[in-house]
Amino acid sequence: MSIDNKSIRVRFAPSPTGPLHIGGVRTALYNFLFARKNGGKFILRIEDTDKKRFVSGAEKYIIESLNWCGLTPDEGPEIGGEYGPYRQSERKSMYYSYVQQLIDSDCAYYAFDTPEELDKMRENMKASGIPSPTYNSISRSSMKNSLTLPKEEVVARIEAGEKYVIRIKMLRNQEIKFEDEIRGWVSVNSNNIDDKVIFKSDGMPTYHLANVVDDYLMKISHVIRGEEWLPSAPLHVYLYSCFGWDSQMPTYAHLPLILKPDGNGKLSKRDGDRLGFPVFPLDWISDNNEDVFTGYREKGFSSEAFINMLAFLGWNPGTEQEVFNLSQLISEFSLDRVGKSGSKYDYSKTKWFNQQHLRLKSNQEILDSIINIENDLLQEFSKEYILKVIALVKERAVFESDILSEGQAFFSDNIKMDEFIVNKKWNTELVPNLIELTSRLYEIPDFTHDNIENIFKSYLLTSGLKLGKIMPMLRLSITGNLAGPSMFHSLELLGRDKMKSRIYNAIENLK
C-alpha cells in the first residue's frame, strides 16, 4: 500500500449510545496506530444524530476511555481543530445543502409515508412471498413520495408542514464495488440495498449521510471501522458517486469481529457478566442504575496490557513477539497484518498480558501504585522493605494488588493456614526436626538467603530428612501457604526473630 503521509487523516466516530465496548476501543486503537505510524492525524468525531439513542455520560466515558488508553486524538470535541465542530449535532446546519444537492441530482427523494402506511407495505409484501420487505427501487413506486406524487402536490405538502423523510434513490440492478484494504474487492448488487432514510423528519441527517459528508469535509483518507459497518459501505460508496466525490473517497478497511471465547458469535456487552470478565475499559453505571458494568481499569489491568491485548485481537506482527508497549505497536502496526477472520477473546491471555506488563515495571513504579491501594502501608513499613517484598513476589503477581495478597506474610504476622493443607502436610512426628532446624538457622551469623540455603541443605544431609517433608512445614509456619517465592529469600527478608516466632507459633497452634 502506498501512503502519502501528509494527507493521512483517520477518525474514530463513536455514537454516544452507552459505554464504549472493547470492540470500539480496538477500532480507536487501530486508527490511532495507523495515524501515528504514518505521520497522520487521529480525529475523534461524536456521531450523535440519533437523539432517541443518546445516552448522557457516554461521550464523557468515551473520552475518558481514550485518555486512559493513551489514545489522545489530534482533533476532537474538547480539543477543537480546523475541521470542527466535531459533534454531529453541532454540525446540523451543514447537512441540509448536501441533501438538497442529492435531491437536485435525482439521487434522493422526499417520502411522506406514515408509519401505518409503511407497516401496510411490509404486510402486503410479506403476503406476496417477500420474506424481508424493504422500501426499495421496486416498492417505492407504490408509495407516497416525490417520485410518485405530482410535483405541485409535493411542494404543497412540504409547504403545509407535512412530515417527511428524505430517502436515497438506490440504483436498480447495478454492481457497486470498492476495494477494502482488509477484505479486497467487495461487490454488491444494488437490488440488495434499500432506499435508506438519509434525512429524518426532525431535521437531522441519519448516520449514513452525516458520516459520508463529514468524512468528506474532514478530509478523511482512511475509514477504519468494525465489520458490522461493511453492509453500509456500498451505500456510502454510492453516496460518494452521487456527490461527484469519487476521487476523494476514503480507503475503507473493515476490521474483523471480536468473537466470544468459544468463537460462537460476536462478543456482546452481556457476555462479560455471563462469563466473568469485563467487556468495557472503565466502570459504567447508567443514570437509572440499570446497567452496571466493571471496567478493565477498575479490575486492576494496566492500560498498556489492555492495549497490547486488544492490538492482538485482529492483528499480529508476523513475529513471535507478543509483548508490546504503545510506541512499539506504533512502529510495527500495518493494516496488511490485520486478518479477515474474527478473533476469539481470551481472558486468561488478557491476564497473561497484564502479568507481562507488570514484570516490565520497576519496583518503584509498583510501589507508587500499591500505595494508592493500601495507603497506610508506608506508615507501617519502610520503603526499602516494601521494595524488597515487591522484588520477591512480583513474578507471581498478575495484578498490582496481588503484590499485597502474595506478599501478605511480609506485611502481617497473622498467619492463616488452610486446614486441608495442614492435615496433608503437617507431620507432628517431625516437629523435633523442625525445632532443630530452626535453631540451626537461627544461629547463622549472617542471615542471608545463601547462608540459610546452605545450612538448610546440610541439615537435610545430616538428618536424612526429605526436602518434601520438612519444606512444606517450614513454609506453612512462615506464610501459611505451600506456594510462594523462594523460602530462603523470604526468611532473609523476615529476619531470624520472625522466623523463630512463627515456627514456634505454628507448633503451638497445631498441637
What's the closest the beta carbon of residue 27 comes to ligand GLU, in angstroms? 7
Nearer to ligand GLU, 164 or 207 (CB): 207
Pick the piece of the chain touching ligand GLU (CB under 6 A) from 11-19, 101-109, 168-176, 394-402: 11-19
Instruction: Write out the three cell numbers for 357.
Output: 506488563
- Angstrom distance (rounded) from CA 480 to CA 414: 9
- Answer left, alpha or beta for residue 203, where phi above 0 means left and psi between -120 and 50 means alpha: left
Residue 215 CA, distance from chain mean position: 24
Under the criterion CB under 6 A, does residue 225 sit at the interface with ligand GLU? yes
- Angstrom distance (rounded) from CA 180 to CA 31: 15
Could you say which of 54, 83, 216, 229 contacts ligand GLU (CB under 6 A)?
229
- Angstrom distance (rounded) from CA 133 to CA 335: 37
DSSP character at residue 162: -
Nearer to ligand GLU, 194 or 215 (CB): 215
Residue 123 CA, distance from chain mean position: 41
Could you say which of 8, 9, 10, 14 contacts ligand GLU (CB under 6 A)?
14
Nearer to ligand GLU, 342 or 407 (CB): 342
In the annotation, is 269 catalytic? yes
What's the closest the beta carbon of residue 19 comes to ligand GLU, in angstroms? 13
- Angstrom distance (rounded) from CA 432 to CA 438: 10
Q: Is the dihedral of CA 119, 124, 129, 134 positive or negative?
A: negative
Nearer to ligand GLU, 209 or 309 (CB): 209
Nearer to ligand GLU, 258 or 397 (CB): 258
Binding mask 44-83 for ligand GLU (x = CB under 6 A): ---x------------------------------------
What's the closest the beta carbon of residue 506 comes to ligand GLU, in angstroms? 59
DSSP character at residue 376: T
Under the criterion CB under 6 A, does residue 221 sit at the interface with ligand GLU? no
What's the closest the beta carbon of residue 15 comes to ligand GLU, in angstroms? 4
Of 200, 219, 266, 269, which residue is the catalytic one? 269
Site for ligand GLU in 23-42 (CB under 6 A): none
Nearer to ligand GLU, 91 or 140 (CB): 91
Amino acid type, 255: L
Pick the piece of the chain touching ligand GLU (CB under 6 A) from 8-16, 170-178, 428-436, 462-470: 8-16
Nearer to ligand GLU, 207 or 280 (CB): 207
Could you say which of 38, 211, 303, 343 contacts ligand GLU (CB under 6 A)?
211
Could you say which of 8, 10, 13, 108 contacts ligand GLU (CB under 6 A)?
13
The residues, ordered by sequence, that sit 6+ positions from 432 with a Cβ below 8 Å of its Cβ are: none
Residues 239, 196: contact at Cβ < 8 Å?
Answer: no
- Angstrom distance (rounded) from CA 362 to CA 382: 17
- Angstrom distance (rounded) from CA 70 to CA 143: 51
**Residue holding cell 476469539?**
344
> Rounded to the nearest 10 degrees, what angle do helices 22-37 and 58-69 cross at?
50
Under the criterion CB under 6 A, does residue 134 sit at the interface with ligand GLU? no
- Angstrom distance (rounded) from CA 86 to CA 81: 8
Pick the piece of the chain touching ligand GLU (CB under 6 A) from 10-18, 168-176, 278-286, 395-403: 10-18
Nearest C-alpha neighbor of 357 from the set 297, 305, 301: 305
What's the closest the beta carbon of residue 232 comes to ligand GLU, in angstroms? 7
Under the criterion CB under 6 A, does residue 19 sit at the interface with ligand GLU? no
**Could you give the count of Cα atoms lying within 13 Å of 94 in the half-sphere of its Cβ?**
19
Pick the piece of the chain touching ligand GLU (CB under 6 A) from 9-17, 75-83, 367-375, 395-403: 9-17
Residue 500 CA, distance from chain mean position: 49
Which amino acids are annotated catalytic? 269
User: Applying CB under 6 A, which residues contact ligand GLU?
Assistant: 13-15, 47, 207, 211, 225, 229
